[in-house]
Structure 1
Amino acid sequence: MNNPYIPKKYEIIDIQHQTDIDYTYRLACDIAPQNGQFVEVSIPKIGEAPISISDFGPGYIDMTIRRVGKVTNYLHDLKIGDSMFLRGPYGNGFSLDQYKGKHLMITAGGTGLAPVKSIINHFHRNPQEIKKLDLLIGFKSSKDILFAEEIEAWKKNEKFNVILTIDRQEEGWTGNVGLVTQYVPALEVLDEDNLEVIIVGPPMMMKFTGLEYLKRNIGEERIWVSFERKMSCGIGKCGHCKIDETYVCLEGPVFNYVKAKQLMD
């Protein structure tokens, strides 16, 4: 019988510096995740941390990791050729079939872009599978922008409408300014019967962005959110992700809004 707590060792084959504190690591890996799932990354004698999978393909996965504590500080000192220990993937992710052939609106705040990047890239590579994709991305500042090169590539996709905004005006910034919530009312709905919405980001951002979509009479059953920030052990043993009677790591992190509205603070 396999021990669910024992991780496997995987080699780092590429590292991309997104910001001063956000690095994307590509690992040679046989894990085949769902979009929006996460893994547990561990370093012997240091600790363990739940990390979202930001992209994946045959023989590899990508993880975008922010330096925020003991484990992630150690990870940021690793180099190509070094190894990480992983277990997983865990959780219920986003189902691509739910969005194929439809008008999809994705709103992501900060590092919330990471768990949905694989979905965006799938439809970027396969635009024939979607009617339209509205992508609304918000960051605190221009220095916090993740995946800048990919965002520019997404803007060139004829099926994509990409709105990138930062919270406050900066010297030299010529793009959009303001919270993502103020841009939701302007999004054009092609077909209400074939519309799906994804929201990922900090809890307050998801709460108020969800309310903006509801104001547009978009049904709760058409809205999906991810509570990936609540993850802890990944297998429902520690209880740190529990909200009332719901274990987020087992039932989520992806929830339909019908359920998620009961879990939001």
Structure 2
Amino acid sequence: MINVYMPRKVEIISIIPQTDIDYTFRLKSDILPQHGQFLQVSIPKIGEAPISISDYTDEYIELTIRKVGTVTDAIHELKPGDFLFIRGPYGHGFPVEDFKNKNVVIAAGGTGLAPVKSIINRYNRNPKEIKKLSILVGFKSPKDILFEDEIKKWKEKFDVLLTVDNGDETWKGNTGLITKFIPDLKIENPDDTIVIVVGPPMMMKFTCLEFLKRGIPEENIWVSFERKMSCGIGKCGHCKINETYVCLEGPVFNYTKSKQLLD
């Protein structure tokens, strides 16, 4: 019998600081997950935490981890050459095969950019897979911006709008919530447009409502409840909303389902 709780040992190849509390850990691994899946990451005698996969190749996976608790604090103390333990990947990802030849809009708030970064990089490598990609990404402040170098590269190929809730004296870019900019977003054919929304619960709620106002069909909107993850295998019940185990049926949901999941 396979022990589903048994993790595997992986080496940290490199660590890339993103902000003061967000680091991207590149781990040696041949896992090829679905976009939007997550891993359980652990340190023996410390504990484990669910972490979204922010990117991957056939040689490594990347996890962008915020320092917010006992496990993640310990992970941030590690260095290249050290080891982590992982199990997974878990959950259902975004059905990107169904997005081919569509217009795609990705709206991400804060660390919600991490679970969709691999999708953006997929289209960056294969731009002809879809008709058009538009990216809306928002952060609390300039110091909270993730993946700055990659955002600059995305701007070379795609329509990218970067905004912060609160700027400072050095910030020359957009200011305001993502929802502020959706009414002016160029959407040529709503029925042929796929929308992906990931971020804090309230951000996702009102962002989805704004896209519905723009005529995007409910079935064309996809969201991720990646913040609800816990054990990953539907045993602990911490992710359960009504009768739905988010880690088993999600974390990615079509809006027609997610609008019923009131946590």
Alignment TM-score > 0.5, same fold: yes
Alpha-carbon displacement from aligned partner over 1:167-220 (angstroms, at most 9, x marks no partner): 023111110000000111111112223210000000000000011011112110
Residues 191 and 216 of structure 2 are in contact (CA less than 8 Å); yes or no, is this contact kept in structure 1?
no
Matches within 5 A, 1:77-156: 77-156=77-156
Does the alignment pair 1:25 with 2:22? no
Letter in 2 for 1:259: K
Q: Distance in 1 between matches of 2:176 and 2:132?
A: 24
User: Which residue number in structure 2 is paired with residue 190 of structure 1?
Assistant: 188
Matches within 5 A, 1:23-62: 23-62=23-62
**How many matched pairs?**
263
Unaligned runs of 5+ residues in structure 2 are none
Q: Distance in 1 between matches of 2:189 and 2:176?
A: 27
Residues 200 and 226 of structure 1 are in contact (CA less than 8 Å); yes or no, is this contact kept in structure 2?
yes
Q: Distance in 2 between matches of 1:264 and 1:182?
A: 24
Post-superposition offset of 1:128 = 1.1
Post-superposition offset of 1:8 = 0.3
Q: Distance in 1 between matches of 2:222 and 2:50?
A: 21
Letter in 2 for 1:24: T
Q: Distance in 1 between matches of 2:94 and 2:258?
A: 14
Task: Provide the secondary structure at the position in 2 that maps to 1:154.
Answer: helix
Q: Distance in 2 between matches of 1:186 and 1:264?
A: 29
Letter in 2 for 1:250: L
**Identity, % of aligned pairs?**
67
User: Which residue number in structure 2 is paired with residue 179 of structure 1?
Assistant: 177
Q: Distance in 1 between matches of 2:8 and 2:167?
A: 45
Q: Distance in 2 between matches of 1:149 and 1:95?
A: 27
Task: Provide the secondary structure at the position in 2 that maps to 1:33.
Answer: coil
Task: Provide the secondary structure at the position in 1 that maps to 2:181.
Answer: helix
Q: Distance in 2 between matches of 1:207 and 1:241?
A: 18
Residues 203 and 264 of structure 1 are in contact (CA less than 8 Å); yes or no, is this contact kept in structure 2?
no
Task: Provide the secondary structure at the position in 1 that maps to 2:33.
Answer: coil
User: Which residue number in structure 2 is paired with residue 229 of structure 1?
Assistant: 227
Q: Distance in 2 between matches of 1:264 and 1:23?
A: 31
Does the alignment pair 1:205 with 2:214? no
Post-superposition offset of 1:30 = 2.1
Name the TM-score, length of structure 2 as normaliser. 0.99
Q: Distance in 1 between matches of 2:191 and 2:183?
A: 18
Q: Distance in 2 between matches of 1:166 and 1:9?
A: 38
Letter in 1 for 2:128: Q
Unaligned runs of 5+ residues in structure 1 are none
Task: Provide the secondary structure at the position in 1 that maps to 2:124.
Answer: helix
CA RMSD of aligned residues (A): 0.7
Alpha-carbon displacement from aligned partner over 1:127-156 (angstroms, at most 9, x marks no partner): 111111110000000000000000000001
Q: Which runs of 4+ in 1 moved over 6 A?
A: none
Post-superposition offset of 1:264 = 3.6
User: Which residue number in structure 2 is paired with residue 238 of structure 1?
Assistant: 236
Letter in 2 for 1:241: C
Q: Distance in 2 between matches of 1:98 and 1:78?
A: 39
Q: Distance in 2 between matches of 1:18 and 1:57?
A: 20
Post-superposition offset of 1:32 = 1.5
Letter in 2 for 1:194: D
Post-superposition offset of 1:162 = 0.0
Q: Distance in 2 between matches of 1:170 and 1:214?
A: 32
Post-superposition offset of 1:75 = 0.2
User: Which residue number in structure 2 is paired with residue 170 of structure 1?
Assistant: 168
Letter in 2 for 1:47: G
Task: Provide the secondary structure at the position in 2 that maps to 1:77.
Answer: coil
Alpha-carbon displacement from aligned partner over 1:32-84 (angstroms, at most 9, x marks no partner): 11000000001100001000000000111000000000000000010000000
User: Which residue number in structure 2 is paired with residue 256 of structure 1?
Assistant: 254
